[in-house]
Structure 1
Amino acid sequence: MKPLLLAGALMLAIPGAAVADPPWKPGHHGPGKHHNARHYEKDRRKAEREYWKDRQKAERQYQRDLARAERRWARGQYLPRSYLADTYYVRDYRAYGLAAPPAGYTWVRPDPRDDSYYMVQLATGLIEQIFGP
């Protein structure tokens, strides 16, 4: 009977050892955790600002790359219909050293940052001639 009581007492003592104090200091939530909510929130906001800053930078670069890719057309290709609007037409073509376009054609400058001018057919957008770099 004594060995049974001794075994029972040992069984009750063993789980008590597993509930020991954590190895970190009291007041901390564990290794790698912030010790107070203010510091956690400050770091979270900083990380979020950096994320959005990087995302905006990537978006600007993407738009620049996209604009560069859209601006390059060759003779015989079709200019997108969005550029066949009055705002892109070159009315004072002689000031740019361009010849007068034939009937049914007009000079178009799709990007004001680029000095490329396209003579396009108004009905289809077919590029007949390119002037510029």
Structure 2
Amino acid sequence: MGLSALINLQYQFSSKFKLGFNIDVIGVGFGSTDNSRFISSENTGQYPQTLESSPSSFNLLLGGDNDLGQIKSEFYIAYALSEKTWLRGGMDMTFSEYTSNQELTYANNRFRYKPVLVFLAVSYNPFN
């Protein structure tokens, strides 16, 4: 889990179409400690195969693999179905990171998963 401040940019081309982008910049991460499994061709017995890790507690956008913590971003295009309802589709990237108490290969103690997904969403604004 994470709570972050973000940058949100959007441009409306017409009354029917808009493009947008948003990305987390800085925040905090939290969650329970878990047992992680460390698998690496560099581990020839000098590192444990299982160790405790927890979500990184500080989120910071630094660019690419240098980012810290949980960083979420998305690119989208939206189409107005009506004045109050929009259909939005795009690409989502969510970086999830765990930190261990032990330094492992390449002086690293972070484990990251970076899926890239597509999405389709409907939004409705009753106050518009």
Shorter-chain TM band: under 0.3
Higher strand proportion: 2
Higher helix proportion: 1
- The TM-score normalised by the length of structure 1 is 0.21
- The TM-score normalised by the length of structure 2 is 0.21
Structure with greater Cα Rg: 1
